Copies of this chain bind each other. A is one copy, B any other.
């Protein structure tokens, strides 16, 4: 998979960036180190100025690639979900059993990233941590409807719809396939957050993972045999 991924360019909606960060060495450094710095400082305390110092480049040069730090977050989020979608398609396409396929899919969207591909400048382990902590901030804004119309969230929505389709494949009569799919995906991230910060309101810890919880939830709800 890693070899395949290195030859595959993850496609992000064009309007998100001013200049494609994949198109230059500086652009790649911006992506690489923004992930590390957002992880260290949190998105709120992260600034282009601080990033500039780290990559030995000027703040204003970064504005040549992204018009705001919010757009940069949208880019990272889109990249992440495109990468999840890739795994979803790749790792489930040859599973013929519907139930097995759905279980695999839930595991993919809920699991913690444990290996960095080492082929790109993007550290997927750290990016996964950022998504857990910051993904909601990409859409919890006053501009969400405009940005949605501009297509900034299509990849994220497509992942949810793929999961929804697998739910329907298992239970054509179930009334809430879209809501269940979106609950699994946001809930998966949320349970990871709780296990790191609010242990008293989650059961996830050690062997009990968000994946296991949501697989159990789905199998029972859909009454899969």
Query: Which A residues form the contact surface with B (CB < 8 A)?
Result: 41-42, 44-45, 133-134, 136-137, 139-142, 144-145, 148, 153, 157, 160-161, 164, 175-183, 186-187, 190-191, 193-194, 197-198, 200-204, 208, 210, 213, 216-217, 220-223
Contact = CB atoms under 8 A, between A and B. Distances in A.
* Oligomer: number of copies: 2
B216 A217 contact: no
A161 B197 contact: no
Contacts of A42: 141-142
A160 B204 CA distance: 15
Given A157-B201, A175-B216, A221-B220, A140 B136 contact: yes
A145 B197 contact: yes
A223 B219 CA distance: 12
Contacts of A223: 220
Contacts of A144: 197
